[in-house]
Structure 1
Amino acid sequence: MIKSFQLSFTVLIVFTVLILGVVGNVEQKSQDWCWSIVNKDRCLQKECESLCSKKHPKGKFMCIPSTPGGPFQCHCRHPCR
């Protein structure tokens, strides 16, 4: 009886350590993202993509209107430092 309890306890501990490792790894990979305006006058897709990748190599670009119905601005989403 003690051996089965000891085995169950060992399996529970190993399982807990594995779960905590997976959760910690997922939390480590999630980063905070920051936004910066690369070009506030206009947003042409190729130009915006180029400017964003030059300024932030891991950045993703997006054209967002400055005001409803207004001109689009080039925004770059990148990992915060």
Structure 2
Amino acid sequence: MMKKPIQLSFTVMVIFTILVLEVVANEGIGKKNQCHEVLKQSNCVAAECETMCVKKRPKGASYCSPSKKCLCYYHCAQ
């Protein structure tokens, strides 16, 4: 009489484990690395930096660092 609940819980546990492993395996698929490039060493102006970044990397995002460097962040394949 105890065999049925044990078999059922074992089956549920195996299915749950397979689903968890599948989710963990798919987590790494499609991830892209982020790279950056210095476009200007000093005197960064946000609008100018953004224009240069988008021109060079259409899907890039610009950032003026506290040290006034113009940085362009983009996804790169590595």
TM surpasses 0.5: yes
Whether 2:72 is the aligned partner of 1:79: answer no
- TM-score w.r.t. the length of structure 1 is 0.70
| TM-aligned CA distance change 1:58 to 1:9, over 3 Å | farther
- TM-score w.r.t. the length of structure 2 is 0.72
- Who is 1:15 aligned against? 16
Runs of 5+ unmatched residues, structure 2: none
Shift of residue 41, structure 1, vs aligned partner: 4.1
Shift of residue 29, structure 1, vs aligned partner: 4.9
Runs of 5+ unmatched residues, structure 1: 66-71
* Structure-1 separation of matches of 2:3 and 2:55: 64
RMSD, matched Cα: 2.0
* Structure-1 separation of matches of 2:25 and 2:58: 26
* Number of positions where the alignment pairs a residue of Structure 1 with one of Structure 2: 75
